[in-house]
Amino acid sequence: MGLLFQLGVMKCRIYRIRTKKSSLQQFLHMRGEKLERAGREYKLIYYDGSGKHDSITINGSAWFDHKNQVGGGAIKFMRHFYGMDFQTAMNELLGRSVSSICRSPPKAEVKPKEFKLPEKNSDMHRVYAYLIKQRFIAPEIITHFAKQHTLYEDKEHHNAVFVGVDENGVPRQAHKRSTNSYGKTFRITCEGSDTRYSFAHFGESEKLFVFEAPIDLLSYLTLNPENWQQHSYIAMNGVYENAVLTALKNHSNLEEIVLCTDNDEGGIDAVDRLTDILKEHGYENISRIAPENKDFNEDLKERNGIEPLKAVPHRRKDIYYETVSDLQHFKCSPDRLIDRLSKAFRNGQYRYLAEYALAGSAFFIGRKNENAMFEKLKAKMSNEYRAYSDKGKMYFKEDNLKRMYQSVMKDLRHTQARTKEQVMQTAKSLYELADCAVRCEVEQQLETPVILQEEMPQMEEPSEVLCMEYG
């Protein structure tokens, strides 16, 4: 027994040593993943059903998903990104079972380059042609930013270059976009760019309009040209908040923030995420203007007779709202609550489990009007839901549900007199259990488009009510 214990300790030590030395960055190179330098970090470039993503940054063995606000170490990444269990993730990282799709050896670490603007072309003919003929941007809007030296054409490849300057007017960031009429297009942030600054215009009013990309910003100005210069506008080059927070810090007149992100899943998530971040920094006057189509340039195209890319609904968020809205209230029977929760959990009936748990929460909070409290709790669930932080795999959500269920059952079996604080804690735990159950139901619907559900059985009225002392 002692020998086995010692061997186990030795393995743990070997694991710590090897994982410490091996970087997640190197491992991803070996798997053939695409990484792009972003200052001292790397961005993971990947694609899924909703398109291209670059919200995950890698620094050694640490990572952070800026879109979903989650991060950690190598093992957590393997579980979060690849859906691996703990043992598989550990074996992969230790090289015991690497499912390598390696096409080249890991690249050596290189020091980040000093920021330098691309060399200017002698004219802007291609940029003007691209922005006017393909993007339908108003010429006077282009000219304004060209005169401010924040938009120009690079000499080598004739890309459009969008420049972000600091509070002293010094260029600190640059974003290049190809002006090709045909073939592949690309967008890239120049090496050494300071993400605290971005392509922007600052006016004297209290309004700041926030966009994902420079083209969106220019399109909105073309669609809304009246007195536009009195307001402020900034492009995030994605859905990152750094440039927005810096702009608010450096311009004390800015008090009202208007989020103008894309009308798709990423843009809708960005609205919630940015709203939460801005409120944490003390900004409360936040609103949204959504394009009719996918983005404001698509709206501009439609105005000019071009078939636009339509808005893309946020399925996860819509399904969550719909599921919560459909939850039915049944008068809570305290003496039967444990049994009903147990059966729904064992059978994987997430919606029923949510209904029972939420009914229980409403009972503990206010038994005088349980139905009204049930509806208030439903509204609370919808208002507090953040789809951007709800991207974990099904097994994560089932693990969370199991832990919450076990905690609730332990609490409900507590038969001693309850204080008011304990009563409220029980109600809170049941509410959280309901939320976990709804999230599992949503994930199940997303994985299986059509799910046949049995009709909810008629619940009997309790013959007696369990007496509970609240202290």
pLDDT tens track for 7-41 = 454 444 444 434 444 478 777 765 557 787 766 67
| Among the ranges given (23-37, 114-128, 218-232, 371-385), the one the predictor scored with the smallest mean pLDDT | 23-37
Tens-place pLDDT, residues 52-88: 677 788 887 788 887 667 788 887 887 777 767 676 7
Task: Inform me whether the pLDDT recorded for 294 exceeds 90.
Answer: yes
Q: Specify the pTM.
A: 0.73
CATH number for the 17-114 domain, one of 3.40.50.1100, 3.90.580.10, 3.30.460.10, 3.20.20.120?
3.90.580.10
Task: Inform me whether the pLDDT recorded for 189 exceeds 50.
Answer: yes
The mean pLDDT value for 228-248 works out to 92
Phi, psi torsion values for 174, nearest 5 degrees = -145, 140
What amino acid occupies position 380?
K
- Cβ atoms of 418 and 426 closer than 8 Å: yes
Kindly list the distances between the CA atom of residue 438 and the CA atoms of 380, 407, 418, 429, in Å, as whole numbers in the listed order: 13, 17, 28, 14
CA of residue 238 relative to chain centroid, distance = 12
Residue bearing the bigger pLDDT, 372 or 469: 372
Domain with CATH 3.40.1360.10 in the chain: 125-303
Please name the fold of domain 125-303: Dna Topoisomerase Vi A Subunit; Chain: A, domain 2 (3.40.1360)
Domain with CATH 3.90.580.10 in the chain: 17-114
- Cβ atoms of 417 and 471 closer than 8 Å: yes
The runs of H, that is alpha helices, within 327-470 are: 334-346, 350-365, 370-384, 394-412, 420-447
